[in-house]
Amino acid sequence: MQSEKRSNSLARQILQSVMDASLVPFLAILTAVIFGGIIIKIVGGDPILSYRGLIEGSFGSTKALSETAVWATPYIFAGLAVALAFKGGLFNIGAEGQLAVGAVVSSLIGYALPEWLGYDIPAIIHLPLAILFGVLMGGVWAGIVGALKAYTGGHEVINTIMMNYIALNTTSFLLNGVMKDRSPTNVIARTPLIADSARIPPLFEGLRIHWGFIFALLVAFFIWWLLTKTTLGFQIRTVGLNPDAAKYAGINVKRIIILTMVLSGMLAGMAGTIEVTGLNYRHELGFSIGYGFDAIAIALLGKSHPLGVVLASFLFAAMRNGATRMQFLTQMPVDLISMIQAFILLFVAADAIIRYIYRIKSKGERVVLTRGWGG
Amino acid sequence: MTENNIVLEGKNLTKQFPGVLANDNVNFDLRKGEIHALLGENGAGKSTLMNLLYGLYHPDKGEVMVNGNPATINSPNDAIALGIGMVHQHFMLIPVFTVAENVMLGDETTKRGALDRNTVAQKINQISSQYGLSVDPNALVGDLPVGVQQRIEIIKALYREARILILDEPTAVLTPQEAEDLFRIMRDLTARGVSIIFITHKLKEVLAVADRITVMRAGRVINTVNPSETNSALLANMMVGRQVILTVNKQDRKPEEEILRVENFCVQDQRKLDVLHDVSFTVRSGEILGIAGVQGNGQTELSEALTGLRHPSSGKVLIDGVDVTGKTPRALTKAGLAHIPEDRQRHGLVLNYTVADNMALCDYYRPPFSRRGVIQQKALDDNSRKLIASFDVRTPSPFVNAGKLSGGNQQKVIVARELSRENVKLVIANQPTRGLDVGSIEYIHGEIIKMRDRGVAVLLISAELDEIMALSDRIAVMYRGKIVAIVDAKQPTREQLGLWMAGAHAETA
């Protein structure tokens, strides 16, 4: 009886909370699309045709769908990275850098390991190694910031930004130097191609969508399980919601801060690794400009919930992917998409605007101006 | 004269908040030169009423009259312009500014663009002598005792020519002697035509100082009475709506073996200044040691250092003979400590967690709540159902967020979690009933006594002297980070304790 009641009311509660949580993001997207349409109109374009191009380009064919999923894959990992950190009360702006170091290490293992060993390695060992080291490198990179936060109080926002500079410039140094592709025709900063044994196979012949996409969905589910069902997740959420209470409850807050950053960095590293092993088969300077930053928007839009992150990743992926088709059809520049994304983020972050436009009452908060023990 | 001497009146004031009717058709009037006490429990609607009168809220219905004329008060500035001044419970003073600078803040007197401190100082001196509020305009506020800081707040209001003063829980931070001083000042002010609204939940003070008493409960005015026609018991009944036992029932009990020993305990703050010097005491099984003292004399630091939230700089703590100095909160919990923290919303609860999760906040990591790293939600739920029933927590379900509960029920969640742990040998309760309704206070006092009777050692820290005197078997008094006296609870009078709280035993500073 009791448990039935709970599951019943819980199902309703969950549905209610999903609707509450997704209402503002949904309206934010809608409003941003309307704003985008107005701008298209102002600059003399055709909003309907532009958006049709956008949708065709992202969902209109098997190939378009495949490409959207290809875009979504690193977005999901990087978005989860930022979302996990948010849950732990940390703002990881450094996904971009963690992603870069992950990609560097992963590609190094991918092309250089067989050379060092002097023989070919089976894919079943080589691929996991390439992924593992990329992921670990991302974890270490973010873990440094976590340790600085835990032991010196250094703010993670500043330190992840600084670590981004170090990561991106070190990457540039390596890709122009020791790791540069020495083939005679190459003039750009990129690594040699990784060995076949370090590549993630495609899902379907002839399409670029690869198993990394499925893996991303599995990892999203795993992160949800970790956060909501495990003792570690309980600790991360407690530290995120109330670090004082966490300390009182006997949680080692410093350890959890470091661990949260490491896990977040591992996910970001995964985003870089998956692009190297699943798509590009090498690391090239500038391939990812923006993934790590879009990830912040994705995590915000997805309300830091793994399912929300997956959906937001798809949205961003579809917009990026469909933009080319839109440009082809209507000569609307791809940059318009960045504007719409910025609008979405603006409306989600400053949700008071959306609540005002659509007259949504915010729930549960009551204004208390003077609060006393007896008053 | 009868109608004209009403200086401030709220007529049929109604204010609705989401889910709460905070003020329901409230009528309240203040006569010229009287002290009108507003008495009520936490959440009775006193603060809402004052915020309506002071312009922080706007009433849904009803109107505010000042000196017989309808007044629109949309902001504190409007209120000040109408001669209404408010002294908040938490002072709005800037410690690094002088008295004069604080008084003129927001209403600066300038001379050719520069602050004119001299004119302000003169005016302050004039107000001081007129109303008997002695204070040095050039002293830094941070150096002054709390009682004097309160005086500055009053001067600030008078400086703005307030003729109506609203004092919100003014005695909460004062020693009994300082409170007496304040009452004298209040009477002087009324003798000079100032009218005062005195908000409090302390019955004794109301009877001592008020000319009229209005009691509020659940958003309504229950009655307005004269002190001569009433007594503590009647007022308490009006406040709570039922018979209240004002004294705590407690049998004598012989304390047994020593559970907590604190030796030469010192704690420093962030600036490396001693906030706790050389504190030593013991608490035995079946005994309540009450720590009395005005807030901010090291009680917070003492309880935090004893419960692992803060590192002591030197000294020793033993629980049941085992050295636990500087141990983590979890180690202390395992050693048998139950901690009811001073700030329940900051330390005691995660407000965005459900009641069920909060009830396992300290034990989530071990069986039956957690197995192989996975939370056993059913065990958490079952545990919370049991505790909700046995500790009478009023919540619609275990799955409601703790932040949605009333203060009393939030505190019950903490008390249930802490006192139900099976290995408890020592309870450290800091301000366990602050801000709670009378019913919850009774309940929590009962639970603390129950623990003592079961042979648990209890360290009770409270700024409410009545609470300390009602519950304790022995009383220690803290003043400026030191224990200035430890005595049997039956020994000292209220006045004696008050003197110690003001540092009578300490060095002459």
Q: Write the DSSP symbol of residue A333.
A: -
How many pairs of residues across A and B have Cβ atoms under 8 Å apart? 121
Q: Is B140 helix (H, G, I), strand (E, B) or coil?
A: strand
What the block records as the tokens of B164 is 């109506």
Residue A258 sits at φ, ψ, to 5 deg, of: -65, -45
pLDDT digits 0-9 by tens, A30-47 = 999 999 999 999 988 889
**Cα B182 to Cα A140: distance, rounded to the nearest angstrom:** 60
CB contact under 8 A, A371 and B47: yes
Specify the DSSP class assigned to residue A197: G
Name the amino acid, one letter, at A234: F
Per the DSSP assignment, residues forming a β-bridge with B111 are B114
User: What is the pLDDT at residue B134?
Assistant: 81
The predicted pLDDT at position B507 comes to 41
- Give the per-residue pLDDT at B77: 86
Cα B95–chain centre separation:
21
Taking only residues 119 to 158 of chain B, the set having a beta carbon closer than 8 angstroms to any beta carbon of chain A reads none
Q: Does B270 touch chain A (CB under 8 A)?
A: no
Closest CA to A37 of A59, A57, A53: A53
Chain B residues in contact with A248 by the CB 8 A cut-off are 307, 309, 329, 339, 341, 347-348, 361-362
Tens digits of residue pLDDT in A40-75 = 999 888 899 989 999 999 999 999 999 999 999 999
Q: Which of A81-85, A357-361, B46-50 has the lowest mean pLDDT?
A: A357-361
Q: Which of B172, B350, B364 sits opposite A241 (nearest CB)?
A: B350
Give pLDDT, residue B146: 78
Q: Which of B220, B200, B218, B219 is nearest to B210 (CA)?
A: B200
CB atoms A241 and B352 under 8 Å: yes
- Mean residue pLDDT of chain A comes to 88
CA distance A354 to chain B (A): 21
Q: Where in chain B is the domain with CATH 3.40.50.300?
A: 6-240, 247-336+423-509
DSSP secondary structure, B111-135, as one string = ETTEE-HHHHHHHHHHHHHHHT---
Give the integer Cα–Cα distance in Å for B502 and B509: 11
Residue B383 region by backbone torsions, left for phi larger than 0, else alpha for psi between -120 and 50, else beta: alpha
The per-residue pLDDT for A116 is 92
Residues of B in contact with A303 (CB under 8 A): none
Domain B247-336+423-509 has CATH 3.40.50.300: yes
Joined tokens for residue B407: 């203060």
Q: Which CATH class is domain A62-331?
A: mainly alpha
Q: Which residue has the tokens 């962030």?
A: B270
Helix (H, G, I), strand (E, B) or coil at A156: helix
Say yes or no for a CB contact (<8 Å) between B168 and A370. yes
- Closest CB to B329: pick one of A247, A369, A374: A247
Secondary structure (H, E, C), B170-206: CCCCCCHHHHHHHHHHHHHHHHCCCEEEEEECCHHHH
Say whether residue B50 is in contact with chain A using an 8 A CB cutoff.
yes
Helix (H) or strand (E) holding B506: none
Instruction: Give me the half-sphere count of Cα atoms (radius 13 Å) on the Cβ side of residue B89.
Output: 20
The share of chain A scoring above pLDDT 70, in percent, equals 92
The structure tokens listed for B102 are 């604080």
Q: How far apart are CA B446 and CA B292, in angstroms?
A: 19
The shortest C-alpha distance from A216 to chain B (Å) reads: 23
CA distance A122 to B10: 85
The per-residue pLDDT for A287 is: 65
The Cβ-side half-sphere exposure at A182, using a 13 Å CA radius, reads 5
Q: Which residue has the tokens 């990329």?
A: A134
Please state, in angstroms and rounded to a whole number, the distance separating the CA atoms of residues B337 and B305: 13
Residue keyed to tokens 């399980």:
A225
Q: Which of residues 79-98 of B touch A (CB under 8 A)?
A: 88-90
Reduced to 3 states (helix: H, G, I; strand: E, B; else coil), residue B197 is strand
Are A250 and B329 an interchain contact pair (Cβ–Cβ within 8 Å)? yes
Q: What is the pLDDT of residues A134-188, one digit of tens each?
A: 999 999 999 999 999 999 999 999 999 999 999 999 999 999 989 998 888 888 8
Quote the DSSP letter at residue B491.
S
Beta-bridge partner residues of B288: B458
pLDDT means per 10 residues, chain B with 509 residues, are 73 84 91 92 83 88 90 87 87 88 82 83 88 85 83 89 90 82 91 92 87 91 92 86 74 90 90 87 96 88 94 94 94 95 92 95 93 94 94 88 86 95 95 83 92 96 90 93 92 87 60
For residue A289, the model assigns a pLDDT of 66
Most B CBs within 10 Å, among A247, A248, A256, to test the B interface:
A248
Output phi, psi for B271, to 5 deg: -90, 10
Asked if the Cβ–Cβ distance from A373 to B435 is below 8 Å, we say: yes
Say how far apart CA B259 and CA A283 lie, in whole Å.
Answer: 64
Query: What DSSP line would sit under B306-346, residue for residue?
Result: HTTSS--SEEEEEETTEE-TT--HHHHHHTTEEEE-S-III
A306: cis peptide before it, omega within 30°? no
Q: How far apart are CA B408 and CA B54, in angstroms?
A: 27
- Please give the share of chain A, as a percent, with pLDDT higher than 90: 66
Residue B134: CB atoms within 10 A of its CB come to: 10
Alpha-carbon distance values, A217 to A22, A99, A191, A226, B471 (Å): 20, 18, 28, 14, 59
Q: Is A100 exposed, middle or buried (0-12, 13-18, 19+ CB in 10 A)?
A: buried
Res A361: pLDDT: 67
Predicted pLDDT at A9: 65
pLDDT digits (tens, 9 = 90+) for A226-248: 999 999 999 999 999 999 999 99
CB contact under 8 A, B346 and A245: yes
Distance CA A162, CA B146 (A): 45
Cβ of A366 within 8 Å of Cβ of B17? The answer is yes
Residue A202 CB burial class (10 angstroms; 0-12, 13-18, ≥19): middle
What tokens appear for B335 in the block? 């050693």
pLDDT (0 to 100) of residue B270 = 74
The chain A residue lying nearest B173, using CA atoms, is A373
Tell me which residue has tokens 């005679």. A184
| B275 three-state secondary structure | strand
Q: Is B200 on the interface with A (CB under 8 A)?
A: yes
Mutation to test the B interface, candidates A230, A234, A369, most B Cβ within 10 Å = A234
Angstrom distance (rounded) from CA A9 to CA A332: 49
Instruction: Report the alpha-carbon distance of residue B65 to residue B378 in Å, rounded.
Output: 57
- Which residues in chain A have Cβ-Cβ distances shorter than 8 Å to B377? 229
pLDDT grade for A369, boundaries at 50, 70 and 90: very low
How confident is the model over A88-105, as pLDDT tens digits? 999 999 999 999 999 999
Do the beta carbons of residue A111 and residue A191 sit within 8 Å?
yes
How many angstroms separate the CA of residue A264 from the nearest CA in chain B? 20
Q: What is the CA radius of gyration of chain A?
A: 22
pLDDT value for B240: 82
3-class DSSP state for residue A155? coil
**In 3-state terms, what secondary structure has residue B213?**
strand
pLDDT band at residue A362 under the 50/70/90 scheme: low
Helices (H), chain A: 2-42, 47-59, 62-87, 95-117, 123-152, 156-176, 211-229, 231-241, 243-248, 253-275, 291-301, 306-330, 335-349, 351-357
How far is the alpha carbon of B361 from chain A, nearest alpha carbon, in Å?
6
Question: Which residue reads 């990179």 in tokens?
Answer: A141
The CA distance from A214 to A204, in Å, is: 12
Q: What architecture (CATH level 2) is domain B6-240?
A: 3-Layer(aba) Sandwich (3.40)
Chain B residue numbers with beta carbons less than 8 Å from the beta carbon of A10 are 399
Handedness of CA B139, B142, B143, B144 (dihedral sign): positive
Angstrom distance (rounded) from CA B8 to CA B27: 11
> Distance between CA atoms of A360 and B90, rounded to whole angstroms?
34
What does each C-alpha distance from B241 to B205, B439, B509 come to in angstroms?
A: 20, 10, 46
Residues of chain A with CATH 1.10.3470: 62-331
Distance to chain B for A76, nearest Cα, Å: 25
| Residue A214 to residues A117, A120, A367, Cα–Cα distance (Å) | 31, 27, 46
Interface test with A, best of B361, B381, B462 (most A CBs within 10 A): B361
The gap from C-alpha B438 to its chain's centroid, in whole angstroms, comes to 14
Angle between helix A62-87 and A47-59 (nearest 10): 90
Residue A62 and residue A335 in contact, taking contact as beta carbons nearer than 8 Å: no
